[in-house]
Structure 1
Amino acid sequence: MSPDTAGVLDRDKLFAARLHAARVRPYLATALFALHTVESRRVPTMAVDRHWRCYVSPAFVDRTPVEELAGVWVHEVSHLLRDHHGRGDRIARKSGRTGPGERLRMNIAADCEINDDVFGDGLTCPEDVVRPEYLGMPPGLLMEDYLSRFGLGPMTQELVWLDCGSGADGLDREWDLGPDGADGLSEQARDAVRFRVAQGITGRPGSAPKAWKRWAEEAFHPPQPWRALLGAAVRSAASGSGGAHDYSYGRPSRRAAGVPGAVLPSLLRRPPRVSVVIDTSGSVSDAELGSALLEVAAICRAVGGRRDLITVVPCDAAARIVHPLCSGEGIPLLGGGGTDLRTGFAKALRSGPRPDVIVVLTDGQTSWPASRPPCRTVVGLFPRASQWDEDDDPDQAYTPDAPPEWAHVVSIG
């Protein structure tokens, strides 16, 4: 399909379609009315940019029924709400594929993510809409999942006309007005729209499809890149003032030039010693213990791979043995009783030589040392949902102490 060259945009019909979309998808109304329309004969149908402008072909509006136009409104705003442009940019940076062909593949994958639950219940499905089943893929997946399941070829040849704009794949178009153009939303305004839509979805349970509920939950509680955060926290703690130094004549000091005839040693930073205290109490699941072993391996990589400098202390109500790190699979995580990680801290500090960093992996239902240990501390917390009910007696409810202020805390999972 080539760009249209028709006459004046029928805004009454276009906005009637948007009103219909807001009536049948009320939780998306805030986003639908936040879009600013731009008449354009360079787009095949409708398209969006990352600044929440919607470019509309007049000929497309003329030949499309209102019910189908309403579905296209929902389709285009879904690209923006689900941040397909930002996700497309991240995929392009990671893979190094930034050409138009790869971006077309991202647009197709993004359409597959949203089209499996856009239509029906008042929204008519156009004949040429891209669904996962058309490419032999299951519904209910994310754009990133679909990208790994198909490539450009005979099945996608008929989709070369597809162009939902830079808001769908992150690739700027010549017809984009850009960040300095009129009527674009600021980053703060875009975030406010997403928050209002997420509020509407979570405030009316049962009225939105599963994919939108999942999106709303992540909008309120965005997933942390916790492995990267944990590794950065360990590296930061290890490189702080608590890290020990030593002198070596193996590499002469650069200051030796100022002292002729003398050989001065250089100051070297010794690789940090890390002790990992793992909560093995009954409140920690087997899956979380398995995750803790994966974190031990990640911590090892974060400090340069020196397994001889890492020890592991399993601890429930008592700490038993300090295990040197040979392999994660060989560490026996014994326990299953109550929780008192103070004994784990004491065991780690008594082991020789003393660690520069203590990393604690726990669900947080424990008592903490009363004073700051003589080394840096990083706490990886397994998430826990609140068990308190409004009918419970607040005085009888158990609330575990929060990790102390001197610990760097990272939520795991």
Structure 2
Amino acid sequence: MSAATAVALDLDKLFAARLHAARARPYLATALFALHVVESRAVPTMAVDRHWRCYVSPGFVDRMPVEDLAAVWVHEVSHLLRDHHGRSDRLARDRGMTGAGDRLRMNLAADCEINDDAFGDGLVVPKGAVFPRHLLLSGGLLMEEYAGEIRLGPMTRYLAWLDCGSGADGVAREWELGPDGAHGLSEQERDAVRFRVARGITGRPGDAPRGWRRWAEEVVHPPQPWRELLGAAVRSAASAAGVGEDYVYGRPARRSASLPGVVLPSLRRTPPRVTVVVDTSGSVSDAELGSALLEIAAISRAVGGRRDLVSVLSCDAAANVVGPLCRAEDIPLLGGGGTDLRSGFARALAARPRPDVVVALTDGQTPWPAVRPACRTVIGLFPRGGTSDSWREDDPDHAPEHPPAWARVVDIGPRGPGV
């Protein structure tokens, strides 16, 4: 097509489609209007770069209905909100995806993550949209999972034109303006847009599809490397001044030389003793009890592998027998009733020799000791979401107390790196 007959970009139509998209997905409005439009005849359809610019083909806008363009707006901004460019960078680095076809594979994987629940409820399915079923894949997965399953070949040959820009796969294009170009968002501005969208989704639960709710929860409450945090908390408590220290006469203090005839004891650090109190009440699931066993094994490693110095007791409304750690899988976790960890703390502190560190693994549905224990305390909290934060077995109107300020609190999630 010559310059004289080239189709001009119909901004009115394009912006009408964006308004339609914002009405169909109001929780995405902030992100949709944060995009800056750049006309580009090098783009086959619409694409985004990692700096939140939206590149638009005038011919594509001319031949597509407003309803289809609205769906494409939602699709493109979804790449940016879900950080597909950053995730693609990490994926390429971790899996060595640097070949010529890897850009297409990651773009397809990102599209599958978005499209399997993006349309409907006011948004039509745009022509050419790629779904997991088109690639003989299951729905509901993440981009990283799809990228490991997609195989390029005859089935994907007709999709070679697909190009959503560096916002989808992290690879800069020649037609993009780059980091120094005009109208790009700074990293802080991008994060602010994501957080505002996420708060809009979590503030009205049930209005957004499952994939968006999952994304929003991770933005508002990012997952913690909880095993690393728990291990660090235990090691910090175990190495604090006064923990595992005692005066012994087996090695006289060096200051004895200045006092003839007087033998002064030396201060010696011994491995700390740790007691783990496991909440076994009815509100703690079997999966969480299994997670507690894994944490007990990790705690023993955190204190140097001395299992003889780690004791475990289970506690619901009453504390059970304190037992030394032999193997984590052999620990009897007894209970199933109400929750009152005060008895567990009292039993742990009454043991002789007294522990240097007490670790409580619980869902937090418990009253706490009124007085700070005479040792370091770490609390590992199993996650509780939604209305379950105000639930207790014997009183549905009960609002649990927050963990005390004198304890180091670590939220225990579903997975994380080893201690």
TM-score (structure 2 length as normaliser): 0.78
Determine helix, strand or coil for the equivalent of 1:185. coil
Q: Structure 1: give runs of 5+ residues left out of the alignment.
A: 248-266, 390-395
- CA shift, 1:304, in A, is 4.9
Aligned match of 1:89: 89
Aligned match of 1:264: none
Pair 1:128 & 2:128 matched: yes
Query: Distance between the aligned counterparts of 2:166 and 2:37, measured in 1?
Result: 15
Pair 1:157 & 2:130 matched: no
Query: Distance between the aligned counterparts of 2:51 and 2:186, measured in 1?
Result: 7
Pairs within 5 Å for 1:329-348: 329-348=329-348
Aligned pair in 2 of structure 1 residues 96, 227: CA closer, same or farther (>3 Å)? farther
Identity of counterpart residues, as a percentage?
74
Pairs within 5 Å for 1:231-270: 231-244=231-244
- CA shift, 1:379, in A, is 0.3
Query: Distance between the aligned counterparts of 2:151 and 2:237, measured in 1?
Result: 44
Aligned match of 2:360: 360
Aligned pair in 2 of structure 1 residues 334, 149: CA closer, same or farther (>3 Å)? same
Residue by residue over 1:300-343, the C-alpha shift from the partner in whole angstroms, topping out at 9 and shown as x without a partner, is 44445443443212122333322222222210001233433233
Amino acid at match of 1:11: L
Amino acid at match of 2:189: A
Aligned match of 1:186: 186
Aligned match of 2:50: 50
Aligned match of 1:143: 143
Pairs within 5 Å for 1:20-59: 20-59=20-59
Q: Structure 2: give runs of 5+ residues left out of the alignment.
A: 248-266, 391-395, 414-419
Determine helix, strand or coil for the equivalent of 2:155. helix
Aligned pair in 2 of structure 1 residues 237, 54: CA closer, same or farther (>3 Å)? farther
Determine helix, strand or coil for the equivalent of 1:379. strand
Amino acid at match of 2:412: I
Aligned pair in 2 of structure 1 residues 271, 12: CA closer, same or farther (>3 Å)? farther
Aligned pair in 2 of structure 1 residues 124, 279: CA closer, same or farther (>3 Å)? closer
Query: Distance between the aligned counterparts of 2:105 and 2:42, measured in 1?
Result: 20
Query: Distance between the aligned counterparts of 1:307 and 1:88, measured in 2?
Result: 42
Aligned pair in 2 of structure 1 residues 203, 323: CA closer, same or farther (>3 Å)? closer
Aligned match of 1:114: 114
- CA shift, 1:243, in A, is 4.7
- CA shift, 1:66, in A, is 3.0
Give yes or no for contact 2:7–2:62 (8 Å, CA) kept in 1. Answer: no
Amino acid at match of 1:406: W
- CA shift, 1:363, in A, is 2.0
Query: Distance between the aligned counterparts of 1:143 and 1:207, measured in 2?
Result: 23
Aligned match of 1:288: 288
Aligned match of 2:260: none
Aligned pair in 2 of structure 1 residues 284, 154: CA closer, same or farther (>3 Å)? same
Aligned pair in 2 of structure 1 residues 180, 348: CA closer, same or farther (>3 Å)? farther
Aligned pair in 2 of structure 1 residues 8, 215: CA closer, same or farther (>3 Å)? same
Aligned match of 2:318: 318
Give yes or no for contact 1:165–1:173 (8 Å, CA) kept in 2. Answer: yes
TM-score (structure 1 length as normaliser): 0.79
Aligned match of 1:73: 73
Query: Distance between the aligned counterparts of 2:271 and 2:147, measured in 1?
Result: 41
Amino acid at match of 1:55: Y
Determine helix, strand or coil for the equivalent of 1:361. strand
- CA shift, 1:294, in A, is 2.4
| Residue-pair matches, total | 384
Aligned pair in 2 of structure 1 residues 189, 120: CA closer, same or farther (>3 Å)? same
Determine helix, strand or coil for the equivalent of 1:232. helix
Determine helix, strand or coil for the equivalent of 1:360. strand
Aligned pair in 2 of structure 1 residues 308, 106: CA closer, same or farther (>3 Å)? farther
Query: Distance between the aligned counterparts of 1:240 and 1:155, measured in 2?
Result: 61
Pair 1:13 & 2:25 matched: no
Determine helix, strand or coil for the equivalent of 1:117. coil
Give yes or no for contact 1:242–1:375 (8 Å, CA) kept in 2. Answer: no
Residue by residue over 1:38-62, the C-alpha shift from the partner in whole angstroms, topping out at 9 and shown as x without a partner, is 2234433222122211122334334
Aligned pair in 2 of structure 1 residues 146, 180: CA closer, same or farther (>3 Å)? same
Aligned match of 2:408: 408
Aligned match of 1:256: none
Query: Distance between the aligned counterparts of 1:366 and 1:124, measured in 2?
Result: 49
